[in-house]
Structure 1
């Protein structure tokens, strides 16, 4: 089993790559000052699939007019960077940092209340990833 990882904001990825956990202790990586994750590490892609469960198929069959129980699978693309520094190889997942659904810093750094925030014209207020994930694992 993989050791537990602590979540952190995607904006901190550049700083967090400079350390790692060994036996639940934080250790620093000896990286050059000018180390750049995008420039110095090879981009790799992993595609995983999430498929509907038997229970979800049954529920969809009851709800549909045709009674179809077809299994559906959805691709989940994950991006990684393979880095080689000092003869050691390490991998960093960068899915939320780059690619199609990359996090972008807010254009307006001023804090706003949720009720005042309006989505850009033509976009839904619901997060695209939230919609995607909820379609895979609907609430019970």
Structure 2
């Protein structure tokens, strides 16, 4: 089983990544006050959500849909860390598509 992880809304993501799970402020390189999430490396992963049409039938078809998940790799003095940003990226993608 994976260890429990902290969850919060995408609206507070940029402020939440400024601290460790313990609540202590992340230490950054000299002169840097906060982590700029938009400057962290963007990475994507494609997963699939599948459903059996009629689970009670042995030969029922299985249908799958792609689910794209986005992550940002950020850096603090301890090293790099990953943050899932899937919901945070959606408004940004809409803005870029409109431009």
Per the TM superposition, whether the score is higher than 0.5 is yes
CA RMSD in angstroms comes to 3.0
Partner of 2:45: 46
Deviation at 1:52, TM superposition (A): 1.3
Equivalent pairs, count: 91
Measure, in 2, the Cα distance between the counterparts of 1:101 and 1:35.
Answer: 18
Q: Give unpaired runs (5+ residues) of structure 2.
A: 94-99
- The structure where strand makes up a greater share of residues is 2
Deviations 1:52-75 (A, max 9, x none): 14xx4346x7xxxxxx82211111
Partner of 1:57: 54
Deviation at 1:101, TM superposition (A): 9.0
1:11 aligns with 2:11: yes
Measure, in 1, the Cα distance between the counterparts of 2:66 and 2:91.
Answer: 13
1:63-78 to 2 correspondence within 5 Å? 69-78=60-69
Deviation at 1:100, TM superposition (A): 6.7
Structure of higher CA gyration radius? 1
Q: Is the 8 A contact 1:37 1:81 kept in 2?
A: yes
Deviation at 1:99, TM superposition (A): 3.0
Q: Is the 8 A contact 1:48 1:75 kept in 2?
A: yes
Q: Is the 8 A contact 2:54 2:60 kept in 1?
A: yes
If the length of structure 1 is used for normalisation, what is the TM-score?
0.52
Measure, in 1, the Cα distance between the counterparts of 2:18 and 2:65.
Answer: 34
Partner of 1:30: 27
Q: Give unpaired runs (5+ residues) of structure 1.
A: 62-67, 103-140
Measure, in 2, the Cα distance between the counterparts of 1:81 and 1:6.
Answer: 16
Measure, in 1, the Cα distance between the counterparts of 2:92 and 2:46.
Answer: 14
Q: Is the 8 A contact 1:79 1:99 kept in 2?
A: no
